[in-house]
């Protein structure tokens, strides 16, 4: 066989798919750029982040400024002085809406961080170890999936609020909000656990893990340096969706009146101003729109990321 | 003798990133009564698409843009949708490549097949069930009544294909299009299915177009053979001629590249390959589509597209080197 | 079996949490003048508050098993019938919303999937995505703003008119009040189901057996509805269970927006008033329903899809 033939054959051999490494990130980014919905989502999210960071700078009033009340200016429609009008208690709607952004982000990110830790840990262990541990952990996950999470959180938040009365904890700032965040995280991990488990199961069987094992890598290395980075894309997608969900959940909890009255959040604004919906709709519409855009942003981003990391073949 | 099916100048194209790709271009072939035509070629040669085009089932965004399909006095490409629907499954039927996927998994065998009879011949359910049972029996499924109540996933691969054949033959069609009917089956079952097709075809007096890339299958089953390459037909002739005296360089190369049991490959006899690769249809080679890989290519082969030439009764070749006229692109 | 453990577990958690906050009687009675200590003690005995927490839990469980959910502290009525009454009001909205959503989704998704990549398809996709992402309560608020306040066509709260019913008929009156909340729920349902169904249908329509059905001469409508849709809808039907759970869980929000006298609103009031028999009872019932639904969904999947059979 001549050398040319050997080259020919070598060129014709099917290429082995190499496992995804950090180079995948740049590829994913490039694909994301081409995805219009994903970019829109990213834009919205970035917008919210910018607003959150710059709120103190760009807000026309202080969030607790009720000076409008002084001259019967509460519930006033949008005007030159108050671009989004004033709300029921005389607050400037624009200011409150702007200041709601950092709250929302803290809630979303905080809840998701907690949920991610728990979820990935549970799912990862279940997926990696398999067997009895898997069964047990999955039962636990099922338990959390079936309970009416939202309802339970409402009850717990309220009860927590009551328990704290008269205790030294009462004076802690943002305690209620913190409680909400923790609860959302504590109840929000099952979807992440499910995904983590699926990913670990899938990746565990791949050849590069076997190869790592062959060269004597410790389980800890295998998990953190091989499996986890490859599972990250899918996890990030679910996490992005979760952030949106957490923000929405907090908005709903606050809207029902169980939120933290001392914080400025969009849900709280809705709660305060729902009574005066008829006469001052702007006070409700502004935070409502903010919630919508933020959650939409995260959802679209998640969708775009999902497409970017797992491109679906189009016909 | 007018052929049962007469395809002329068939062309199918679909858009790819703005421009149009001609998947098949200027395809002619004909099938006589009770005749089996084997359409052979590599993957991507357009043979499956040609048979789909006969039924006007080319999947969008691809569409038929030129040609005529003569069948029982009509040009199928000009027929209205209603009449075409009445033809499909009743006068022309198709057996697909992968039996595992061409049966609806959530309907029972009896239900799926009965539905066809109910639609075409308006048979009441009991009568339809009897006909289905008879047909299943005919394709070699012994306990037909039991099988009718089963679902596709409960049947073996060979049995599924038998069911698919039964489905195609339910209304005793004049023409059966078989697209690689044995490719996805075990080797032992392949022979059985081919025999079954042969037997049924004779019994019902149907014609058949057998699409395949397997020369062995075609040698056994086909009366006539059409060789396709890159969306065009290179050569058509009866089976004996194709195997014994092929004219077109591609046909020759194809036959040469088949490993043969009666040849020794020791010493310096190597497996013949056709050098190069199948052209990208979005950017086909100018002139004759085979010329980049053809050992006999000449200067004009690069400019002119060869037209079909009947060199002997029933033997058509499209090759400038064999005397065809060419047309500039 | 596991389901039972589940339910017990949840109720236990809630129970302990509630009881950890101290006696509700003390809190409720704290500022009321004229209530003697004896009365308080008597009340406590009546509600078994003088025993230990764990004991109380089992006492409660026992009475629940007999159908007695206790008496609401706020309303002073037996909890059981209350749950039924309010529950029916809630279901009055939820059930039609699901079925309507499904019916609409089937029609829309079928049209969109068949015309994949067309303008119709893109419109449908965008619309569905929007409908799915819009927070439900926002939709509700907008509906109230536009149709109740500005246009004045529909009532903005309640399930029934307090004075004269519409057109003199309580039935018509009830329907009239249902329109806005039902629209809000149906919108979300339709959007979500359409997204799912369309994706499935696009997938199914690519399969060989669809091509084979067409090749057998069956008319396009029968292929789409009898073959493609039938296959595509299987995962959707099972999703209905999850959807119902979602709807139920967000019922408090829906009912707050429209001041709809259903079980959700009851729950919120109960939490605010620390009416723990109601809280306990309702949590239990809802959890049981969700567990039941999950089981039913699993069973339904086995029944509908002949490929899956119980081992």
A88-101 pLDDT per residue, tens? 888 888 888 898 99
Of C208, C217, C230, the CB nearest to B89: C217
Of C212, C305, C306, the CB nearest to B96: C212
CB–CB of C249 and A258 under 8 A? Answer: no
The pLDDT score that the predictor gives to residue B54 is 93
**Cα C118 to Cα C126: distance, rounded to the nearest angstrom:** 12
CB–CB of C252 and A255 under 8 A? Answer: no
The pLDDT score that the predictor gives to residue A19 is 57
**Cα B309 to Cα B316: distance, rounded to the nearest angstrom:** 5
Of C211, C227, C305, the CB nearest to B57: C211
C199 touches chain A (CB under 8 A): no
Residues within 8 A of B (CB atoms), C 152-211 only? 207-209, 211
**Cα C126 to Cα A58: distance, rounded to the nearest angstrom:** 33
Say which residue the tokens 């959302």 belong to: A184
CA angle in degrees (0–180, nearest 5) for B193-B195-B197 = 70
Say which residue the tokens 């039964």 belong to: B166
Question: pLDDT per residue over C177-228, tens digit each?
Answer: 888 889 999 999 999 999 889 888 888 988 999 999 999 989 988 999 889 9
B167 contacts on C by Cβ (under 8 Å): 212, 216
Residue A201, Cβ density class (10 Å: 0-12 exposed, 13-18 middle, ≥19 buried): middle
CB–CB of B88 and C217 under 8 A? Answer: yes
**Cα C96 to Cα C193: distance, rounded to the nearest angstrom:** 14
Range with the largest mean pLDDT of A8-12, A104-108, A272-276, A302-306: A104-108
- Provide the pairing of β-strand B224-229 with B36-40: parallel
Say which residue the tokens 């809808």 belong to: C233
**Cα B245 to Cα B223: distance, rounded to the nearest angstrom:** 15
B106 touches chain C (CB under 8 A): yes
Which tokens go with B108? 């029972």
Q: Is the pLDDT of residue A276 over 60?
A: yes
CB–CB of A148 and C245 under 8 A? Answer: yes
Please, which residues have CB within 8 angstroms of residue A115's CB and are 6 or more apart in sequence?
A184, A185, A186, A188, A189, A192, A239, A242, A246
**Cα B109 to Cα A221: distance, rounded to the nearest angstrom:** 53
B-C contacts at Cβ under 8 angstroms: 73
Which tokens go with B47? 């043979």
Distances (CA, A) of B217 to B192, B225, B227, B236, C233: 12, 11, 14, 17, 40
CB–CB of A151 and C6 under 8 A? Answer: no
Q: Which of A37, A20, A63 is nearest to A229 (CA)?
A: A20
Bridge partners of B74? B71
CB–CB of C216 and B89 under 8 A? Answer: yes
**Cα A11 to Cα A2: distance, rounded to the nearest angstrom:** 14
Which tokens go with A136? 């047990």
CB–CB of A252 and C250 under 8 A? Answer: yes
* Strand ranges, E, within chain C: none
CB–CB of C20 and A147 under 8 A? Answer: no
Give A162 to chain C, closest Cα distance, Å: 7
Indicate the angle between helix axes C276-304 and C53-65, nearest 10 degrees. Answer: 50
CB–CB of C305 and B106 under 8 A? Answer: yes
Q: Which of A288, A287, A284 is nearest to A75 (CA)?
A: A284
Q: For chain A, how many residues are written?
A: 315
A25 touches chain C (CB under 8 A): no
Local structure of residue B22 (DSSP, 8 states): E
**Cα B176 to Cα B209: distance, rounded to the nearest angstrom:** 6
| Alpha helices, DSSP H, located in chain A | 3-12, 23-34, 36-58, 93-129, 131-146, 149-164, 175-187, 190-204, 207-214, 219-221, 228-255, 266-273, 281-309
B279 touches chain C (CB under 8 A): no
The pLDDT score that the predictor gives to residue C15 is 60
**Cα A61 to Cα A97: distance, rounded to the nearest angstrom:** 11
The pLDDT score that the predictor gives to residue A315 is 32
Which tokens go with B321? 């080197």
Please, which residues have CB within 8 angstroms of residue C195's CB and are 6 or more apart in sequence?
C125, C128, C129, C132
CB–CB of C290 and A147 under 8 A? Answer: yes
Contact B114, B107 (CB under 8 A): no
CB–CB of C213 and B104 under 8 A? Answer: yes
Q: For chain C, how many residues are written?
A: 311
Residues within 8 A of C (CB atoms), A 107-166 only? 139, 142-143, 146-152, 154-156, 158-159, 162-163
Assign residue C14 a region: left if phi > 0, alpha if psi is -120 to 50, beta otherwise?
Answer: alpha
CB–CB of C135 and A248 under 8 A? Answer: yes
C143 touches chain B (CB under 8 A): no
Bridge partners of B229? B232
Categorize the per-residue pLDDT at C7 as very low, low, confident or very high, splitting at 50, 70 and 90.
Answer: low
A284 contacts on C by Cβ (under 8 Å): 141
Residue B124, Cβ density class (10 Å: 0-12 exposed, 13-18 middle, ≥19 buried): exposed
Contact B279, B13 (CB under 8 A): no
Chains that touch B (3 or more CB pairs under 8 A): C
Main-chain phi, psi angles of A21, to 5 degrees:
-120, -165
Give C276 to chain B, closest Cα distance, Å: 49
Which tokens go with A303? 């969708």
Cis omega (within 30 of 0) on the bond before B61?
yes
**Out of A254-263, A287-296, C285-294, least confident range:** C285-294
Q: Is the pLDDT of residue A313 over 60?
A: no
CB atoms within 10 A of CB B240: 12
The pLDDT score that the predictor gives to residue C100 is 92
The pLDDT score that the predictor gives to residue C18 is 54
| Average pLDDT, rounded, for chain A | 81
Say which residue the tokens 């913190």 belong to: A178
Q: Is the pLDDT of residue A312 over 60?
A: no
The pLDDT score that the predictor gives to residue C39 is 60
Average pLDDT value for residue range A20-30: 64
Question: Rounded to an integer, what is the distance from CA A283 to the centroid of its chain?
Answer: 26
Give A248 to chain C, closest Cα distance, Å: 7
Give C121 to chain B, closest Cα distance, Å: 15
Which tokens go with B291? 């010329």
**Cα B91 to Cα C216: distance, rounded to the nearest angstrom:** 10
CB–CB of C217 and B119 under 8 A? Answer: yes
C226 touches chain B (CB under 8 A): yes
Of A139, A252, A296, the CB nearest to C133: A296
Of C215, C226, C305, the CB nearest to B57: C215
| Alpha helices, DSSP H, located in C162-257 | 170-205, 208-215, 220-222, 230-249, 251-257
Categorize the per-residue pLDDT at C114 as very low, low, confident or very high, splitting at 50, 70 and 90.
Answer: confident
Say which residue the tokens 């065009």 belong to: B232
Give A158 to chain C, closest Cα distance, Å: 7
Give C67 to chain A, closest Cα distance, Å: 22
List per-residue pLDDT tens for chain B, 329 residues long.
Answer: 688 999 999 999 988 887 888 889 889 999 999 999 999 988 888 899 999 999 999 988 889 999 999 999 889 999 998 899 999 989 999 999 889 899 999 999 999 999 999 999 988 888 999 999 999 999 999 899 999 999 999 999 889 999 999 999 999 999 999 999 888 888 888 889 999 999 998 999 999 999 998 888 899 899 999 999 989 999 999 999 999 999 999 998 888 887 777 766 666 566 677 878 888 887 888 888 888 888 888 888 888 889 999 999 889 999 988 888 888 87
The nearest alpha carbon in chain A to C138 belongs to A288
**Cα C240 to Cα A96: distance, rounded to the nearest angstrom:** 38
CA angle in degrees (0–180, nearest 5) for A254-A272-C160 = 90
**Cα A258 to Cα A167: distance, rounded to the nearest angstrom:** 19
Which tokens go with A70? 């002084």
**Cα B109 to Cα B106: distance, rounded to the nearest angstrom:** 9
Q: CB pairs under 8 A, 24+ apart, for B193-198? A: B193/B158, B193/B161, B193/B162, B193/B165, B194/B220, B194/B221, B196/B139, B196/B140, B196/B162, B196/B165, B197/B165, B197/B221
Question: Rounded to an integer, what is the distance from CA C156 to the centroid of its chain?
Answer: 21
Measured between alpha carbons, how far apart are the two ends of chain B, in Å? 34
Please, which residues have CB within 8 angstroms of residue B299's CB and are 6 or more apart in sequence?
none
The pLDDT score that the predictor gives to residue C35 is 52
C133 contacts on A by Cβ (under 8 Å): 292, 295-296, 299-300
**Cα A205 to Cα A212: distance, rounded to the nearest angstrom:** 12
Bridge partners of B7? B29, B69
Q: Is the pLDDT of residue C31 over 60?
A: no
C1 touches chain A (CB under 8 A): no
Is the alpha carbon torsion for A189, A183, C274, C182 positive or negative?
Answer: negative
Bridge partners of B75? B70
- Residue from A136, A143, A146, A279 to probe the interface with C (highest C Cβ count within 10 Å): A146
The pLDDT score that the predictor gives to residue C23 is 46
CB–CB of C217 and B85 under 8 A? Answer: yes
The pLDDT score that the predictor gives to residue A263 is 86
Say which residue the tokens 């620390």 belong to: C274
C137 touches chain A (CB under 8 A): yes
Range with the largest mean pLDDT of A29-38, B162-171, C129-138: B162-171
**Cα B102 to Cα C210: distance, rounded to the nearest angstrom:** 8
Contact B222, B209 (CB under 8 A): no
Please, which residues have CB within 8 angstroms of residue B1's CB and are 6 or more apart in sequence?
B32, B33
| Alpha helices, DSSP H, located in chain B | 47-54, 81-87, 109-121, 125-138, 144-148, 157-169, 187-204, 215-221, 239-244, 249-256
CB–CB of C133 and A292 under 8 A? Answer: yes
- Residue from C200, C216, C223 to probe the interface with B (highest B Cβ count within 10 Å): C216
CB atoms within 10 A of CB A208: 16
Main-chain phi, psi angles of B308, to 5 degrees:
-65, 140
């Amino acid at each position: 066989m001549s050398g040319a033939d050997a080259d020919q054959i070598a060129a014709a051999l099917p290429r082995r798919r190499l496992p995804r490494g950090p180079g995948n990130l740049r590829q994913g980014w490039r694909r994301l750029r081409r995805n219009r919905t994903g970019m829109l989502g990213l834009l919205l999210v970035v917008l919210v982040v910018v607003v959150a960071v710059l709120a103190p700078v760009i807000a026309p009033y202080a969030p607790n400024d009720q000076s409008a009340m002084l001259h019967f200016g509460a519930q006033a429609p949008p005007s030159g002085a108050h671009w989004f009008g004033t709300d029921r208690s005389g607050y400037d709607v624009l200011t409150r809406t702007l200041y709601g952004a950092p709250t929302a982000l803290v809630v979303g990110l905080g809840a998701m961080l907690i949920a991610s830790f728990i979820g990935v840990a549970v799912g990862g262990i279940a997926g990696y170890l398999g067997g009895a541990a898997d069964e047990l952990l999955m039962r636990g996950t099922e338990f959390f999936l079936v309970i009416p999470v939202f309802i339970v959180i409402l009850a717990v938040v309220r009860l927590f609020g009551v328990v704290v009365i008269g205790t030294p904890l009462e004076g802690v700032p943002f305690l209620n909000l913190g409680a909400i965040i923790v609860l959302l995280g504590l109840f929000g991990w099952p979807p992440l656990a499910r995904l983590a488990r699926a990913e670990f199961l899938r990746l565990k069987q791949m050849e590069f893990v076997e190869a790592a094992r062959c060269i004597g890598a410790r389980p800890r290395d295998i998990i953190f340096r091989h499996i986890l980075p490859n599972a990250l894309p899918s996890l990030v997608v679910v996490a992005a969706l979760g952030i949106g969900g957490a923000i929405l959940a907090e908005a709903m909890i606050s809207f029902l009146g169980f939120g933290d009255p001392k914080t400025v959040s969009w849900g709280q604004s809705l709660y305060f101003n729902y009574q005066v919906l008829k006469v001052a709709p702007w006070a409700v519409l502004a935070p409502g729109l903010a919630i919508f855009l933020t959650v939409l942003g995260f959802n679209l981003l998640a969708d775009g990321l999902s497409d970017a990391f797992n491109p679906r073949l189009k016909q | 003798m007018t052929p049962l099916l007469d395809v002329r100048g068939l062309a199918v194209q679909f858009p790819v990133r703005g421009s149009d790709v001609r998947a098949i271009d200027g395809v002619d072939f004909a099938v006589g009564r009770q005749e089996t035509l084997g359409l052979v070629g590599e993957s991507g040669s357009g043979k499956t698409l040609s048979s789909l085009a006969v039924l006007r089932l080319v999947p969008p965004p691809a569409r038929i843009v030129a040609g005529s399909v003569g069948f029982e006095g009509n040009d199928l490409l000009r027929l209205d949708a209603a009449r075409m629907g009445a033809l499909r499954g009743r006068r022309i039927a198709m057996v697909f490549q992968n039996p595992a996927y061409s049966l609806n998994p959530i309907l029972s065998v009896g239900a799926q097949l009965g539905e066809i009879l109910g639609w075409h011949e308006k048979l009441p359910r009991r009568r339809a069930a009897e006909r289905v049972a008879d047909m299943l029996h005919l394709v070699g499924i012994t306990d037909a009544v039991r099988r009718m109540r089963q679902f596709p996933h409960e049947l073996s691969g060979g049995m599924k294909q038998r069911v698919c054949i039964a489905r195609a033959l339910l209304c005793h069609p004049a023409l059966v299009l078989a697209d690689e009917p044995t490719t996805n089956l075990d080797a032992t079952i392949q022979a059985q299915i081919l025999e079954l097709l042969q037997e049924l075809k004779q019994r019902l007096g149907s014609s058949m177009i057998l699409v395949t890339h397997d020369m062995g299958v075609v040698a056994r089953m086909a009366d006539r053979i059409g060789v396709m390459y890159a969306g065009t037909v290179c050569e058509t002739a009866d089976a004996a001629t194709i195997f014994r005296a092929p004219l077109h360089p591609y046909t020759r190369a194809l036959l040469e590249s088949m490993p043969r049991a009666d040849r020794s490959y020791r010493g310096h006899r190597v497996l013949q390959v056709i050098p190069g690769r199948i052209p990208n249809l979005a950017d086909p080679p100018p002139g004759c589509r085979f010329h980049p890989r053809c050992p006999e290519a000449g200067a004009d082969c690069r400019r002119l597209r060869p037209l079909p030439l009947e060199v002997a009764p029933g033997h058509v070749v499209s090759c400038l080197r064999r005397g065809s006229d060419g047309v500039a692109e | 079996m596991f389901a039972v453990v589940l339910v017990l577990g949840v109720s236990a958690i809630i129970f302990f949490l509630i009881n950890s906050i101290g006696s509700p009687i003390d809190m409720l009675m704290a500022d009321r003048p004229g209530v003697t200590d004896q009365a308080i003690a008597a009340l406590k005995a009546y509600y078994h508050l003088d025993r230990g927490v764990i004991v109380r839990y089992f006492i409660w469980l026992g009475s629940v098993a007999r159908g007695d959910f206790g008496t609401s502290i706020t309303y002073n009525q037996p909890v059981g019938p209350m749950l039924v009454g309010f529950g029916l009001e809630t279901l009055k909205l939820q059930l039609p919303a699901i079925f309507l959503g499904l019916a609409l989704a089937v029609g829309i998704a079928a049209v969109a999937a068949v015309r994949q990549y067309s303008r119709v398809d893109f419109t449908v996709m965008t619309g569905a995505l929007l409908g799915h992402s819009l927070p439900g309560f926002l939709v509700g608020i907008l509906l109230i703003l536009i149709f109740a306040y500005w246009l004045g066509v529909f009532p903005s709260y309640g399930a029934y008119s307090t004075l004269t019913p519409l057109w003199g008929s309580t039935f018509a009156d009830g329907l009239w009040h249902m329109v806005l909340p039902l629209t809000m729920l149906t919108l979300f349902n339709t959007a979500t189901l359409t997204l799912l169904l369309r994706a499935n249908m696009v997938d199914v329509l690519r399969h060989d057996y669809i091509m084979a059905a067409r090749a057998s001469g069956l008319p396009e409508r029968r292929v789409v509805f009898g073959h493609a849709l039938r296959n595509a809808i299987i995962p959707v039907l099972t999703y209905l269970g999850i959807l119902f759970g979602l709807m139920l869980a967000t019922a408090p929000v829906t009912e707050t927006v429209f001041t709809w006298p259903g079980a959700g609103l009851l729950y919120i009031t109960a939490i605010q008033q620390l009416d723990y028999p109601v809280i306990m009872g309702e949590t239990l019932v809802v959890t049981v329903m969700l567990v039941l639904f999950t089981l039913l969904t699993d069973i339904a999947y086995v029944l509908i899809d002949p490929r899956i059979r119980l081992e």
